[in-house]
Amino acid sequence: MAATEGRVLFWLNVLSLIPLVIALMVVGLWGVFVRRLRGPIPSVFWENVPWILAVVVVIALMIGLHEWIHGLAIRWVGYKPRYGINLAKGVFFATTDNGLFWRDQFLIVALAPLVIISVVGMILMIFTPDSLAYYIGLIVVMNAAGAIGDLWMAAVVWRYPPNTLVRDEADSIRIYIR
């Protein structure tokens, strides 16, 4: 079943509220903790950026960074990544043509952007001015919500034994059991 199939895509969008709420709580508490720990760091530049412009930049950065990290993980496994977008379904993707991943390799490729952006973003929040840290936190939160398709595919693949092979087909996966 394809992640971009109408019914699945609808439910994935609804379910994306779960990681969104979890990330909002975690990043919000983290931001409060960091600010109390280090004190405020003001910045004249970031406070003068129009909010809507910053959000558009955040969304573009988050999507590009997310797919680029998938591509790095694909390359790490030994394949050449291919990037794309399906505007009709509103999805961006990184995949490889005709590549087969072992189950654990696929899990790394699928979850790498969620883990890396979350960890690096929360570390960056410690050292950046408050207004910039807000937007970094926004990237972390939006990435968590946007990773619902990756989480869904990882949950499906996790149920299979480690010697399972997985073919990523951009908007779906094909599973081969030995």
DSSP notation for 102-163: EHHHHHHHHHHHHHHHHHHHHHHHHHS-HHHHHHHHHHHHHHHHHTHHHHHHHHHHHTS-TT
Local structure of residue 49 (DSSP, 8 states): S
Q: Which helix (H) or strand (E) holds 91?
A: strand 91-95
Does 138 fall in a domain?
yes
C-alpha span between 103 and 121 (Å, rounded): 27
Is 160 domain-assigned? yes
What is the mean pLDDT for each group of 10 consecutive residues in the chain (178 residues)? 66 87 94 92 75 89 96 97 87 91 97 98 94 92 93 95 92 87
The predicted structure's pLDDT at residue 2: 59
The tally of domains found in the chain comes to 1
Q: For residue 55, what pLDDT is reported? A: 87
Amino acid at 27: V
Pairing label, strands 100-102, 173-176 = unpaired
In a domain, 150, yes or no: yes
Per-residue confidence (pLDDT) for residue 71, from 0 to 100: 97
By CB atoms closer than 10 A (0-12, 13-18, 19+), residue 63 is middle
Tell me how many helices (H) and strands (E) the chain has: 7, 5
**Rounded to whole angstroms, what are the CA distances from 134 to 59, 103, 118, 144?**
14, 36, 14, 15
Residue 56 has a CB neighbour count (10 Å cut-off) of: 11
Given the structure tokens 């508490």, which residue do they identify?
29
**Sign, Cα dihedral of 106, 146, 127, 29:** negative
In a domain, 171, yes or no: yes
List the domain range (segments joined by +) for residue 29: 6-176
The answer as to whether 38 is a domain residue is yes
Kind plus residue range of the DSSP H or E element containing 47: helix 44-47
Within-domain flag for 1: no
- Is 149 domain-assigned? yes
Q: Distance between CA 18 and CA 38 in Å, rounded?
A: 30
Residue 15 lies in a domain: yes
pLDDT confidence of residue 145: 92
pLDDT recorded at residue 84: 92
Residue 3 confidence (pLDDT): 55
